[in-house]
Chain A
Amino acid sequence: MRRIFTSVAPTIVTGVAGAFVLVSFLVPSLIVLRAPLIGVAAIIAGVAVMMGFAHLLYVHIRRLRSGTGAIYSLMLILSASAALVILLIDRYTTQQLFTHFIFQHIIVSTQTAFGALLAVFLMLAALRMLMRRRGAVAAWFLVAGLVVLVTQVPVVVDGPVGSVLTAVRQVFDAIATAGMRGLLLGVALGTLATAFRVLFFIDRPQSE
């Protein structure tokens, strides 16, 4: 009986839902089949977020009790709880000012500052790589980086130097586009193979 719920039913539900979605993509007139499934997926995703939030609080309450990184956990619990309460209250206001404030002045600004660090981190990582791994990959990385820097800098250069830069840029653009297409082709085939295995019950990530 237990196996029906943990193995058979999830496999059948996945197969049927997958087949519906696939058919709706192939036959555009059957797109109406997809709408109820999207509704179900949205509800499941919403429940998952609630469970994830509870999980996050539980982990940090445990950390608070054990004393490891207690101050950070306390801050996280307080800020997460405050944000939840504020966002819930804000749903009943017309302009949702608090929500906008939290996103614009806390989340977006923090993310922007953090994103700006990435360039510095990347440069440091590249330097460390050149010092530690002096191989073909490091040499290629260095050459590619230098060529991109020289050719993509938005400076207008006239005359023969400008023509050479444009030619080099075009060559590297072609190489980059070809590489990107090759990469995407591999990913698309991998995606197709994974979807195929799930649809035909070869892989059952959702059941025992």
Chain B
Amino acid sequence: MIGLPGLIGLVALAVFGVAQFFLIGTISAGRRPRFRPIPLFTTLRGMLGRSIESGRELHVSIGTGSIAGEDMATTLAGLQIVEYLADEAAASGVAPAITTADAAALILAEDTLRRPYIRQGSLESYPPLSARLPALEPTQYAAATMDYLSHGHVLANVMSGVFGVEAGLMARAADKDALPQFGGAADPRALAVLLPTADNLLVGEEMFAAKAYLQARPPHLASLRAQDIARWAIVAGTIVLFIIGLLSQAGQL
């Protein structure tokens, strides 16, 4: 039988779902919402073009998380950037270098990069080693990526996905060579170590907005707007509960 937490979860999911589908309808009808600018997404546009001009690779790390378990959504958020770059890569013929420390995420990253080439009928142009697995463990992955960032011909370092404190090691390697750095993480420890070196940083929820900002399709804009509404509802609920708690305590005194 469904318990109270389950019921609350189901209701929350249903409300979120209804809001999202309603918003998809309104946005598709032409009422597009406006969001605050996030500098990282603006800078990311045309980054692959600069990579072609300079003859250097754009490194994108999707982190050390798996696509199974609690890291799934964060890893998929990192892959949203890969998806955007993959479309540009298939059009230009130069792919970014994607790295991860998870074998299953590697397969997904490779597939994400390959798909636009299939759509455009130019699979023979797909560079097969664009997605890489330098190591299977976070610290070893950081060490291997540091070596790549120091010795490879890298234009910029983009890190968006699941990271721990080892992100600081990779960021340091890129910082040493004064590479432009863009980071995004959900873990506060990773954010703390990325802050001193990153030129632009995606903090927590901003990571999940990549598709809405980069592709701007109605379902993704609706998803982002639904998150905003849910956040304000939770903030309002927290304040109301705080005031009720305060008043009830005052009544007891």
Contact = CB atoms under 8 A, between A and B. Distances in A.
Interface of A: 22, 25-29, 41, 44-45, 48-53, 55-56, 59, 62, 69, 72, 107, 110-111, 114-115, 117-118, 121-122, 124-126, 128-129, 137, 141, 180, 183-187, 189-198, 200, 202-203, 205-206, 208
B205 A122 contact: no
A203 B224 CA distance: 14
Given A28-B6, A45-B66, A187-B74, 4 more contacts: A118-B165, A183-B205, A193-B224, A194-B208
B139 A59 contact: no
B227 A193 contact: yes
Given A49-B136, A122-B196, A141-B196, A186 B204 contact: yes
Nearest to B219: A202
A52 B133 contact: yes
Given A190-B77, A191-B73, A118 B230 contact: no
Contacts of A190: 73, 77, 186, 204-205, 207-209, 227
Main secondary structure of the interface of B (DSSP, over half): helix
Nearest to A56: B133
Contacts of A193: 16, 20, 208, 223-224, 226-227
A121 B227 contact: no
Interface string B65-84: 01010001110110100010
Contacts of A186: 204-206, 231
Interface of B: 1-3, 6-7, 9-10, 13, 16-17, 20, 66, 68, 72-74, 76-77, 79, 83, 102-104, 106-108, 111-112, 115, 118-119, 129, 132-137, 139-140, 142-143, 147, 151, 165-166, 168-169, 171-172, 175, 186, 188, 191, 193, 195-197, 203-209, 211, 219-220, 223-224, 226-227, 230-231, 234
Residue in B73, B83, B175, B203 with the greatest tally of chain A CB atoms within 10 Å: B73
16 contacts: A27-B2, A48-B102, A52-B103, A56-B134, A62-B129, A115-B165, A118-B169, A125-B193, A125-B197, A126-B196, A128-B196, A137-B195, A180-B188, A186-B205, A194-B76, A196-B16
B195 A49 contact: no
A197 B119 CA distance: 22
Contacts of A197: 219-220, 223
A189 B230 contact: yes
B103 A194 contact: no
- Please provide the 7 A-B residue pairs with the shortest distance between their CB atoms, ordered closest to farther: A186-B205, A190-B208, A52-B103, A48-B103, A191-B73, A26-B6, A125-B196
Contacts of A41: 68
A205 B108 contact: yes
Contacts of B203: 183
Nearest to B197: A125
B136 A29 contact: no
Contacts of B209: 190
B73 A69 contact: no
Contacts of A27: 1-2, 6
A205 B1 contact: no
Given A26-B10, A180-B188, A193-B227, A48 B106 contact: yes
